[in-house]
């Protein structure tokens, strides 16, 4: 049995191309964005059909059979041009696509004369069929007159060549040099070779069969090589992604972090097992957003919805903390910290939101305990401060008490007199009431400073705040021969804070200032308490002294816990003061003054009403 090498070779070309198409077409069917795979599959199918048409021409025994096979060959050639232009456009994503579209349009237009005039686009007439030796057997070639419509074919090829050159140069400049050489160079080389060989055969320069499909097979191989590299890279990426997911799952499980993803279009919510545990969902439940929000505490639900809605208009991170009732059990309360980011589509619309959450109940409890501990330490510091001021305060209380006693004795004497002067008795009683109120005010201030209380914010007038503090330290300052001065700028708005804790801050700073000026000459001992507008939203306070100042490298260290320069100091006053100021939303710092002395400054936010009016 004699083997037909022509049939075997062309059938192998067709089979190879169809096999490659069967491999890559499903990739596009699964991922409609994988257009290079689609156009490559189209090229493979078209070349397989071209190979069958060429095989019919090689075996044709009559001019009509040869002409019919030649006319049909132009249909897969058109499909091949479409596939080449589409592949280059989607794979390189560079170049002037109108050149490729023009080549497709001319090739499409050439089908009209191909089927309506003469024998084909290439030959207007076929006079005879010659048989010659090819691959060990007799093969057919046509003898005829070249068609003038072949110019459309040549012009389409010229546009396709220019398109390929332009796209390859663009890919080279962009850095894809290997792809430009392998794909662009291969397409250009074998397209020209196949077309030139066909033209030389039809014009009679070469006496050999048409073998365009063999040249096209080289193009298919070059493109398959490039795509196979992409498939291998994708496979490695998939393996790396799988391994990364395993590591991520292990990390999230170790860190007890819940992860979730919400699809806005489908309104679907995906959660990992840890997130289900945090919100109290069973492994078989399919949670959605509304089911999740139903477990958020009613006091935090509005804030959570606002954060969720606001995040849809931006791709930046959003974060919130809220209370939940796991499993819908209102008797159980847990704190959850959640962070997420919205991904926008090409039109800027929210597409999906990814995030993570974890149970922070233990941290919240610790923070609560720390706040209470800070309040206890602050209370102890106030008690210590009042002990330090006890001598002066006792003197300030003794003054009105002594006056009350003297006025009471005077009133008794007046009442024993036979001629009682009621007007004078009224004046004495008025003095007694005034002195009693003065002593009561001192005691009330002491009680306010000594009582244990949490921070209660409210608008505070600056003049009243500074007057209260000045009244508490006036006696101690007089004993220590220190002048107190207050400077308040005109028109300052109320600040937002707790009066007791802010008085404690000012007392600590003033006490430190009086300690700093203790070694100075009595006439130079001065403490200045000032308040000015810092910016649109804050008021800046300063407690300045005329002491020796603070060493430059200790300006920040003085706020450390247990740091002190006093022999009997605990080193907690400034640390407590800074924590109290920061709890009010301000900051506390130290600086040296020009000409000597130091200044402790802190800021406080103005009351919300004032900010809105401004």
Q: Encode pLDDT of 170-211 as tens digits.
A: 888 887 777 777 777 777 777 777 777 777 777 777 777 777
Q: Of 497 and 422, which is predicted with more confidence? A: 497
Residues of the chain within CATH 3.30.450.20 domain(s) are 256-359
| Distance (Å, whole) CA 96 – CA 85 | 11
Asked which of 65-69, 444-448, 464-468 is least confident by mean pLDDT, the reply is 444-448
CA angle 262, 263, 268 (to 5 degrees): 75
State the chain's mean pLDDT as an integer. Answer: 77
pLDDT band at 161 (very low <50, low <70, confident <90, very high): confident
Supply the DSSP symbol for 342: E
Are 529 and 484 contacting, i.e. CB atoms less than 8 angstroms apart? yes
Whether pLDDT at 590 is above 70: yes
pLDDT band at 125 (very low <50, low <70, confident <90, very high): confident
For 217, residues 6+ apart whose C-beta sits below 8 A from its C-beta are: 13, 16, 17, 47
- Structure token pair of residue 588: 């506390």
- Structure token pair of residue 471: 């009244």
pLDDT at 302: 84
CATH no. of 256-359:
3.30.450.20
pLDDT band at 306 (very low <50, low <70, confident <90, very high): confident
pLDDT band at 610 (very low <50, low <70, confident <90, very high): very low
pLDDT at 1: 44
| Mean pLDDT score, 43-50 | 85
pLDDT at 286: 72
pLDDT at 543: 92
| CA 278 to each of CA 203, 262, 325, 592, 604: distance values in angstroms, whole numbers, following the listed order | 80, 17, 10, 52, 38
Residues of the chain within CATH 3.30.565.10 domain(s) are 456-614
Whether pLDDT at 541 is above 90: yes
CATH no. of 456-614:
3.30.565.10
| Distance (Å, whole) CA 159 – CA 99 | 6
pLDDT at 451: 54
pLDDT at 215: 74
pLDDT band at 95 (very low <50, low <70, confident <90, very high): confident
- pTM comes to 0.46
pLDDT band at 539 (very low <50, low <70, confident <90, very high): very high
- HSE at residue 174, side-chain half, CA atoms within 13 A, is 14
Q: Of 322 and 573, which is predicted with more confidence? A: 322
Please give the backbone phi and psi of residue 376, each rounded to the nearest 5 degrees, phi first. -65, -45
- Structure token pair of residue 120: 């084909």
CATH topology of domain 5-234: Rhopdopsin 7-helix transmembrane proteins (1.20.1070)
- How confident is the model over 3-38, as pLDDT tens digits? 577 777 778 878 888 888 888 788 788 877 778 888
pLDDT band at 87 (very low <50, low <70, confident <90, very high): confident
For 567, residues 6+ apart whose C-beta sits below 8 A from its C-beta are: none
- How confident is the model over 254-299, as pLDDT tens digits? 556 778 788 877 777 888 778 887 888 877 777 777 888 888 888 8
Q: Of 379 and 227, which is predicted with more confidence? A: 227
**DSSP H or E stretch at residue 319:** strand 317-324
The residue written with tokens 């009066």 in the block is 499
Residues of the chain within CATH 1.20.1070 domain(s) are 5-234
Say what percent of the chain tops pLDDT 90: 3
Coil, helix or strand for 132? strand
């Amino acid at each position: 049995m004699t083997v037909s090498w022509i049939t075997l070779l062309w059938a192998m070309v067709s089979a190879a191309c169809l096999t490659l198409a069967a491999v890559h077409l499903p990739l596009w069917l699964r991922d409609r964005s994988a257009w290079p795979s689609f156009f490559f599959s189209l090229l493979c199918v078209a070349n397989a059909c071209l190979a069958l048409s060429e095989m019919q021409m090689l075996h044709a025994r009559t001019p009509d059979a040869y002409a019919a096979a030649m006319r049909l060959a132009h249909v897969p050639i058109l499909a091949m041009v479409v596939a080449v232009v589409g592949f280059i456009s989607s794979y390189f994503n560079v170049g002037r696509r109108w050149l490729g579209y023009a080549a497709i349009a001319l090739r499409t237009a050439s089908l009209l004369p191909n089927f309506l005039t003469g024998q084909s686009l290439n030959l207007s007439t076929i006079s005879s069929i010659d048989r010659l030796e090819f691959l060990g057997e007799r093969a057919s070639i046509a003898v005829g007159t070249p068609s003038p419509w072949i110019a459309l074919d040549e012009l389409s090829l010229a546009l396709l060549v220019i398109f390929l050159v332009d796209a390859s140069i663009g890919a080279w400049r962009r850095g894809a040099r290997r792809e430009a050489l392998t794909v662009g160079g291969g397409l250009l080389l074998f397209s020209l070779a196949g077309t030139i060989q066909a033209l030389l055969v039809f014009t009679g320069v070469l006496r050999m069969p048409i073998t365009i499909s063999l040249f096209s097979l080289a193009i298919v191989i070059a493109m398959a090589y490039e795509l196979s590299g992409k498939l291998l890279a994708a496979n490695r990426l998939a393996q790396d992604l799988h391994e990364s997911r395993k590591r991520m799952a292990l990390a999230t499980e170790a860190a007890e972090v819940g992860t979730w993803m919400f699809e806005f279009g489908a309104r679907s919510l995906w959660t990992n097992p840890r997130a289900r545990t945090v919100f109290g969902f069973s492994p078989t439940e399919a949670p959605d957003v509304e089911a999740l929000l139903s477990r958020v505490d009613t006091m935090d639900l509005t804030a959570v919805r606002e954060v969720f809605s606001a995040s849809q208009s931006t791709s930046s991170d959003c974060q919130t903390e809220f209370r939940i009732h796991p499993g819908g059990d209102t008797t159980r309360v847990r704190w959850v910290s959640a962070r997420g980011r919205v991904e926008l589509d090409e039109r800027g619309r929210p597409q999906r939101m990814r995030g993570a959450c974890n149970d922070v109940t233990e941290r919240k409890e610790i923070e609560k305990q720390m706040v209470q501990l800070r309040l206890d330490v602050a209370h102890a510091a106030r008690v210590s401060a009042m002990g330090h001021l006890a001598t002066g305060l006792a003197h300030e209380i003794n003054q009105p008490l002594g006056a009350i006693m003297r006025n009471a004795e005077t009133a008794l004497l007046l009442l024993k007199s036979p001629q009682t002067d009621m007007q004078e008795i009224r004046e004495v009683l008025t003095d007694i009431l005034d002195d009693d109120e003065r002593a009561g005010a001192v005691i009330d201030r002491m009680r306010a400073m000594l009582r244990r209380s949490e921070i209660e914010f409210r608008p505070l007038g600056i003049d009243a705040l500074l007057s209260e503090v000045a009244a508490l330290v006036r006696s101690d300052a007089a004993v220590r021969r220190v002048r107190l001065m207050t400077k308040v700028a005109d028109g300052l708005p109320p600040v937002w804070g707790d009066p007791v804790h802010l008085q404690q801050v000012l007392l600590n700073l003033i006490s430190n200032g009086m300690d700093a000026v203790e070694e100075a000459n009595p006439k130079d001992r001065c403490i200045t308490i000032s308040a000015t507008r810092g910016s649109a939203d804050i008021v800046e306070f300063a407690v300045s002294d005329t002491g020796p100042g603070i060493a430059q490298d200790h300006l920040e260290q003085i706020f450390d816990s247990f740091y002190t320069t006093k022999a009997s100091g605990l080193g907690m006053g400034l640390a407590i003061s800074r924590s109290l100021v920061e709890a009010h939303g301000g900051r506390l710092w130290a600086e040296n003054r020009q000409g000597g002395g130091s200044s402790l400054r802190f800021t406080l936010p103005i009351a919300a009403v004032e900010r809105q009016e401004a």
